[in-house]
C-alpha cells in the first residue's frame, strides 16, 4: 500500500535520501521521564501490563527525539507468562522464570491459542498508540524469537552461554522441539493480535541466535522465523516483518531469503561495508551503530554514524543501533546521532 511513512517506504524496498531512524530500547532507563513513570507503576511487570503507562513510556522518546517509529513497550518474556510460566523480576539482576526442563513441563503449559487473555493489556497499549502517534510515525510491535525465549524458560533466567538450553537440545531433542513448536505457534498468535490492534510492522528479536552452531542455526533460528513469517503473511500479507538474529555473523547473508523477512536487523559485529555487499542486496537492512557510542558521544559517534549512512546509501536502510541503548547512555548523544543522520 502507498504510504508516506519513511520506515514503511524503506521496508517496501525504497532507497531514501535520508534513512529513517529509530532505536532499540528507545523507551527506557536512560530517560529521566521513563524513570519517573516506572516509579509510578511500581515495578517493571506492572508497567508492561498497564496500558496507560506503557503507552506513555512508548511515546516519551517520540516526543523528545521525533523518531520515525515507536516500538511497543513490553517484554519478550510476557509470552512464557501467558503460556503459564511464573515470571518475576529481581531488581538489579533481571528476569526469573519457573523452569521447563522435561516433557511434563512443556505439556503443562497452555495451548498457544490461549495466550490472549493474559496479553490483552498489551493489545490495548497497541490500540492506544495507534490512536496517539503522529501521523508520520510508524508503530512497531515485537516478540522474542522462539530460541531466545526458550533459553530463558529452560534456564529460568538469562545465562552467559545459554548452556541449559543447549544441554536440553542435545540430550532431549524431542522435548526441546516441542517447546520450540509451542513458542512458534504462540508467537504467531501474539504478533497477529498486535497487528490486528494496530501495529504496522512487527519485529522478531532472536537475541541469542549467535550461540547456535550452523545446523542448529538453520533448525532453530531460521526455521521458526520462517514459520512465523509465513503464518503472519498468510493472515496479514501487507505487514512487514523485521528479523534480528543477533550474533549471526556470516549467517546474516541469505537470512532474508531463507525466512521471508522484509528487513534484517544487524548487530555491530559485522561491518556496514560487508553487510551492504552481502545482506542489503536482498532488501532492507537495519542498523548498526554500536550502542556504546550513546555513552561516549563525541566525534567518534559522528564519524561512525556518517560511515554507516554512507555504506548503506545505495539501498533501503533503517538507521538503528546494533543492540539496545544502555541505561548509562546520554540523551544528548542520542540527539547528536539523530542530527547527524538527518543533517549529514
Catalytic (active-site) positions: 25, 29, 38, 75, 152
Of 55, 46, 98, 96, nearest to 73 by C-alpha is: 55
Quickly tell me which residue has 555513552 as its cell: 295
Distances (CA, A) of 239 to 22, 60, 203: 18, 25, 11
Pairwise CA distance, residues 125 & 227, whole Å: 26
Helix then strand count (H, E) for the chain reads: 17, 9
- Is the CB of residue 310 less than 8 Å from the CB of residue 288? no
DSSP 123-180: HHHHHHHHHHS-TTPEEEEEEE-HHHHHHHHHHSS--SS-HHHHHHHHH-HHHHHHHH
Q: Is the dihedral of CA 105, 108, 112, 116 positive or negative?
A: negative
Contacts of 322 (CB under 8 A, 6+ apart): 266, 267, 268, 269, 287, 288, 289, 290, 291
**What's the grid cell of residue 99?**
523452569
Q: Is the dihedral of CA 84, 89, 90, 94 positive or negative?
A: positive
Of 15, 29, 3, nearest to 238 by C-alpha is: 3
Pairwise CA distance, residues 202 & 238, whole Å: 11
Residue length, the chain? 344
Amino acid at each position: 500500500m502507498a504510504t508516506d511513512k519513511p520506515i514503511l517506504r524503506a521496508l517496501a524496498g525504497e532507497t531514501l535520501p535520508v534513512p529513517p531512524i529509530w532505536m532499540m530500547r528507545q523507551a527506557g532507563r536512560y530517560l529521566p521521564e521513563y524513570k519517573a513513570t516506572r516509579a509510578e507503576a511500581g515495578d517493571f511487570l506492572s508497567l508492561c501490563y498497564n496500558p496507560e503507562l506503557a503507552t506513555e513510556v512508548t511515546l516519551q522518546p517520540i516526543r523528545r527525539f521525533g523518531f520515525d517509529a515507536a516500538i511497543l513497550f513490553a517484554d519478550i518474556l510476557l509470552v512464557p507468562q501467558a503460556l503459564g510460566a511464573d515470571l518475576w523480576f529481581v531488581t538489579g539482576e533481571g528476569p526469573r522464570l519457573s523452569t521447563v526442563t522435561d516433557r511434563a513441563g512443556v505439556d503443562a503449559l497452555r495451548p498457544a491459542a490461549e495466550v490472549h487473555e493474559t496479553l490483552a493489556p498489551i493489545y490495548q497499549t497497541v490500540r492506544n498508540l495507534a490512536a496517539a502517534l503522529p501521523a508520520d510515525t510508524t508503530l512497531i510491535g515485537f516478540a522474542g524469537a522462539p530460541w531466545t525465549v526458550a533459553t530463558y524458560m529452560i534456564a529460568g533466567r538469562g545465562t552467559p552461554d545459554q548452556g541449559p538450553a543447549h544441554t536440553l537440545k542435545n540430550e532431549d531433542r524431542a522435548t526441546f522441539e516441542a517447546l520450540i513448536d509451542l513458542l512458534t505457534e504462540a508467537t504467531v498468535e501474539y504478533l497477529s493480535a498486535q497487528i490486528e490492534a494496530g501495529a504496522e510492522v512487527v519485529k522478531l528479536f532472536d537475541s541469542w541466535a549467535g550461540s547456535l552452531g550452523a545446523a542448529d542455526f538453520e533448525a532453530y533460528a531460521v526455521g521458526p522465523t520462517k514459520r512465523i513469517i509465513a503464518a503472519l503473511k498468510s493472515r496479514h500479507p501487507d505487514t512487514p516483518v523485521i528479523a534480528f538474529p543477533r550474533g549471526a555473523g556470516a549467517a546474516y547473508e541469505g537470512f532474508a531469503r531463507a525466512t521471508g523477512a522484509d528487513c534484517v536487523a544487524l548487530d555491530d559485529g559485522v561491518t556496514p561495508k560487508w553487510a551492504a555487499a552481502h545482506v542489503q542486496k536482498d532488501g532492507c537492512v537495519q542498523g548498526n551503530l554500536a550502542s556504546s557510542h550513546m555513552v561516549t558521544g563525541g566525534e567518534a559517534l559522528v564519524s561512525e554514524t556518517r560511515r554507516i549512512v554512507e555504506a548503506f546509501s545505495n539501498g533501503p536502510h533503517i538507521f538503528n543501533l546494533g543492540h539496545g541503548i544502555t541505561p548509562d547512555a546520554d540523551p544528548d548523544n542520542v540527539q547528536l546521532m539523530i542530527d547527524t543522520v538527518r543533517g549529514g
